[in-house]
Structure 1
Amino acid sequence: MAAVLALGRLGTNALASMALATLYANVTGYSLIVGMGAAIDTLCSQAYGEHMAGTGEKKELGSPCGASYDQSVSHFQRHFRHLSRTIVIMYIMCIPVAVLWWFTEPLLLLAGQDDVIAELSGRYTRLLIPSLFPFVISECVKRFLMSQGIMAAQMLVIGVVAPINFFLQYVFVFTSWKLGLQGEGAPFALTISHTLIAVALVLYARFVEGGDAYAGLEYDQLFNTKKLWMVTELGIAGVLMTCSEWWAWEIVALMAGLLGPEFLAAQTIVLSASSWAYTMPLGFAIACTTRIGNALGAGSPYQAKLCAFVVLGLGLFLAVMNSTFLMLGRDSLGYLFSDDEVVIRIVSEIVPLAAAFQLADVLGCICGGILRGAGRPEIGAYLNLIGYYVLGIPIGIFLCFKLNWSLYGLWIGLTTALFVVSFIEIYMIYKLDWDREADNARQRSMDNLACD
């Protein structure tokens, strides 16, 4: 947000270039890292639950790796090893991402983007490459803390770093310390901010809360192929689950741009409002992931199931509340962002669809949290892929361009698809064998301990 506000003062080209660079970086990099974090959601929350239940050191198990585990290291400290291995996987993943970001300009030109916009976007994205590495640390440590029920750390750190980011944007874009004449200081400031967040979260985890799990750097454990593959499997499912939805909305933004600037502006406004409304159910989903993972790790399938259905009930309440608020603000929402009467009219007409979308989106968000906590993110991944790319986007494009329903058609397509996905996810959660999921959580722990 700070970068957009800063570059908006430099002109349309700078703002458009940063918007395109951000879209490109989100699709090819940041979304992959966020999705890969699902491995921590599952493994660390279940390991922590087992530790808190006192079951972590009471197992008699053989060693499929041909060696006994080190009993001098607590089960809780093995929780830290899941974090370390996930970071290793993410850093390996960052190598091809960095290459893609380095060649942003030619790739955007190949996609038919304007020469000036492509050149500036490429410059911005190259300056964002160093941000990949602190972003990995901050995303992993944030989820590591959340898996222990420590939710305040990120809020505290963001509350401190956000104003610093605004200050850095001003310094590196407008003052004599500015980098370049086209706003190159904006991505540089973002990189510094990501670094500050990562350092602050690491210090918090080490010295305030969560540091008991620290087990030091154990290179033989970091590069254990069996365990790295366990992380990779869960992470890939998380990537598919996260990115399928993230990328779908980027495609909708591109489609809206083909309809004209007024429709793109209206799409941006409505999606921004929907994203803001999404924050509260997202918080519930994160808490649900942690609690369900903790319960399964502790060998309490009934508690996990109870948590899942209680949060689904809360999710339904939040969905109705969000939809109601959107409808109440239907005629005023557009005025908060634009003075263009055409844009305001389109926003007013799209809001009812966005309100209906909220019902499915909130339930889908909660279901995703439940499935990650249960160690079954692949269910959400497959359903999202089918829902968005077999149903939602094709239906939306058909309604938009073949039946000339414009932006309304795109929203109808995705809303319909998400309702289908959400209902199937609820059914799958209802049919989950929670006793079996608790056994699966125990087996993951045994596989981990057997090779430690």
Structure 2
Amino acid sequence: MEPETTPLLLTDVSGHVENKYKSIWNDFCEESNRLWKIAGPAIFTALCQYSLGALTQTFTGLVDEVDLAAVAVENSVVAGFAFGFMLGMGSALETLCGQAFGAGQIRMLGIYMQRSWVILLTTACILSVVYVFATPILLLVGETEEISAVAGKFALWMLPQLFAYALNFPIQKFLQAQRKVSVMAWISFAVLIFHAFFSWLLILKLGWGLVGAAITLNTSWWLIVIGQLGYIFYTKSDGAWSGFSWLAFSDLWGFIKLSLASAVMLCLEFWYLMLIIVITGHLKNPLIPVDAVSICLNIQGWDVMIALGFNAAISVRVSNELGAGNAKLAKLAVWVVSVTCMVIGVICFAVVLATREYFPYLFTNSDAVAKETSKVAIMLAFTVLLNGLQPVLSGVAVGAGWQALVAYINIGSYYIVGLPAAILLGFTLNLGPEGIWAGMLVGVVLQTSILIWVTSSRNWIKEAKEAESRVQKWGGSSVIPEE
């Protein structure tokens, strides 16, 4: 009997192992499918909205060099500052709406969105001071008088965009939490087509210059807001919208604290790499290094849009599953998105390295600038590799509600370690823009490493319980059965 039993046992063990791996693969594929349904449209939306400012710069640059510089400075410094802060404030809704939706408390999503509107519109009123005094602020940071004057005038004309941000970001988080990302994608695409045509018509054909740029850019952002609101008001968003309510003005302090934590966390990330160009401007003979860094940051910007799509997707997945009490699925979602994004990061890393001698000529005719860009592109390649994981981990943090913790991690990693390292390598060791970027990269590596440790060491059952408490605190009911 012995000889017959042994092969049978080996067959059973082999079959068990095979079934186990097949089950893991099936779970991975199912979660990957859920992830891409959110990430795909979210990436497309981010690219369309990023293209609004990029197209405005392109058309303006065909008219006048000073106007181009003014639009670029307003977009990157003034509007960039406001965009980062408002996006961060609005990201508090990723935690609250996502967990409430997962918990089945659909009615609270509209209330949360209205509370966020109150906070962000108030914030927009405060930030409008930056737009009004843009000229002296730009002079203070070292911009030329000519560019500062024109950019300051353009910033005043762009005040309507600031208030569009205040409404748009809460709306997007409201829709993302319900996985209604395709609606945002279609609206953004339609507005992008409108924007491209009217930018050509007003800026080039009619010769309105900066006035035409301001009209089209403001109008496009408000069309996005109006289109999304029209969808929400018409469909009632499956019960998530039940009309305006005075409840929007209750529990504001808790919202403000979470919103500020979200803003600090995301702004510290959003502004960090932007500092590279500011620091590079203080090198001796900075023109060529600044041009080279600007080209690499342009590539980085497009790559970040892809990362932001996955950031939104994992935030939705984690917050939904924690809100529903599904700790196991939340953990699975983190692993699946991490593997997916690292594969994409490796591909982007290889593409940048393989094309570093060629892509600079898409942006410049100067051999000196192209040569310097090729050198800096090595650091860019490692940056896009890290972009495969770092924004995803930040999305996990937002979905789970760890914004305050990550804000402290970002301060330590970026500004206590990374920034001094950039100054040391770039100036003290005379490594130029490559050294500055490498130093900043040290901060990103440290922050990513800490976030990996934080994410992998978390007790996800405990996180689900905390999500239950958060939903109860702001109007929900218990959804997690006692064990």
Query: For residues 401-440 of structure 1, what are the structure 2 equivalents within 5 Å?
Result: 401-440=427-466
Q: TM-score, normalised by structure 2?
A: 0.84
Correspondence for 1:145? 175
Correspondence for 1:322? 348
How much does 1:111 deviate?
3.5
Correspondence for 2:4? none
Matched, 1:197 2:224: yes
Correspondence for 2:240? 213
Q: Which amino acid aligns with 2:277?
A: A
Q: TM-score, normalised by structure 1?
A: 0.89
Q: Which amino acid aligns with 1:373?
A: G
Q: Which amino acid aligns with 1:121?
A: A
How much does 1:450 deviate?
7.3
Q: 1:288 to 1:112 in 2, by over 3 A?
A: closer
Correspondence for 1:294? 320
How much does 1:175 deviate?
4.4
How much does 1:300 deviate?
1.1
State the aligned residue count. 422
Which string of whole-angstrom CA distances, capped at 9 and with x for unpartnered residues, describes residues 105-151 of structure 1? 12223334322211111110001111122222222111111111112
Cα distance in 2, alignment partners of residues 272 and 347 from structure 1: 12
Cα distance in 1, alignment partners of residues 359 and 142 from structure 2: 33
Which string of whole-angstrom CA distances, capped at 9 and with x for unpartnered residues, describes residues 86-122 of structure 1? 1110011111111221111122233343222111111
Which string of whole-angstrom CA distances, capped at 9 and with x for unpartnered residues, describes residues 378-418 of structure 1? 23222222211111121111211121111011111111111
**RMSD over aligned Cα atoms:** 1.8
Alignment check: 8 A CA contact 2:99 2:319 kept:
yes
Cα distance in 2, alignment partners of residues 147 and 308 from structure 1: 17
Q: 1:106 to 1:318 in 2, by over 3 A?
A: same
Q: Which amino acid aligns with 1:103?
A: F
Secondary structure of residue in 2 paired with 1:7: helix
Secondary structure of residue in 2 paired with 1:149: coil
How much does 1:2 deviate?
1.6
Q: Which amino acid aligns with 2:276?
A: V
The answer to which of 118-127 and 147-156 deviates more is 147-156
Correspondence for 1:10? 63
Alignment check: 8 A CA contact 2:341 2:388 kept:
yes
How much does 1:359 deviate?
2.5
Cα distance in 2, alignment partners of residues 353 and 176 from structure 1: 42
Q: 1:339 to 1:112 in 2, by over 3 A?
A: closer
The answer to which of 187-196 and 377-386 deviates more is 377-386
Query: For residues 15-414 of structure 1, what are the structure 2 equivalents within 5 Å?
Result: 15-51=68-104, 75-176=105-206, 178=208, 183-208=210-235, 210-219=237-246, 221-224=247-250, 227-259=251-283, 260-414=286-440
Alignment check: 8 A CA contact 1:38 1:234 kept:
no
Which string of whole-angstrom CA distances, capped at 9 and with x for unpartnered residues, describes residues 343-367 of structure 1? 1111211222211222323211110
Alignment check: 8 A CA contact 1:33 1:136 kept:
yes
Cα distance in 2, alignment partners of residues 91 and 427 from structure 1: 37
Alignment check: 8 A CA contact 2:78 2:134 kept:
no
Which string of whole-angstrom CA distances, capped at 9 and with x for unpartnered residues, describes residues 168-212 of structure 1? 22333344483xxx5232123211111101001111233358252
Q: Which amino acid aligns with 1:80?
A: G
Between the aligned residues of both structures, percent identity stands at 26
Cα distance in 2, alignment partners of residues 320 and 113 from structure 1: 37
Q: 1:281 to 1:174 in 2, by over 3 A?
A: closer
How much does 1:218 deviate?
1.1
Alignment check: 8 A CA contact 1:281 1:318 kept:
no
Cα distance in 1, alignment partners of residues 476 and 187 from structure 2: 37
Q: 1:209 to 1:361 in 2, by over 3 A?
A: farther
Cα distance in 2, alignment partners of residues 269 and 102 from structure 1: 29
Cα distance in 2, alignment partners of residues 386 and 184 from structure 1: 42
Q: 1:18 to 1:440 in 2, by over 3 A?
A: same
Q: Which has the larger radius of gyration?
A: 2
Secondary structure of residue in 2 paired with 1:210: helix
Secondary structure of residue in 2 paired with 1:183: helix
Secondary structure of residue in 1 paired with 2:282: helix
How much does 1:342 deviate?
0.9
Secondary structure of residue in 2 paired with 1:258: coil
Alignment check: 8 A CA contact 1:46 1:293 kept:
yes
Cα distance in 1, alignment partners of residues 432 and 207 from structure 2: 45
Q: Which amino acid aligns with 1:235?
A: S
Correspondence for 2:467? 441
Q: 1:250 to 1:284 in 2, by over 3 A?
A: closer
Alignment check: 8 A CA contact 1:37 1:235 kept:
yes
Q: 1:340 to 1:209 in 2, by over 3 A?
A: farther
Secondary structure of residue in 2 paired with 1:404: coil
How much does 1:436 deviate?
1.6
Alignment check: 8 A CA contact 2:109 2:240 kept:
yes
Secondary structure of residue in 2 paired with 1:331: coil
Alignment check: 8 A CA contact 2:88 2:263 kept:
yes
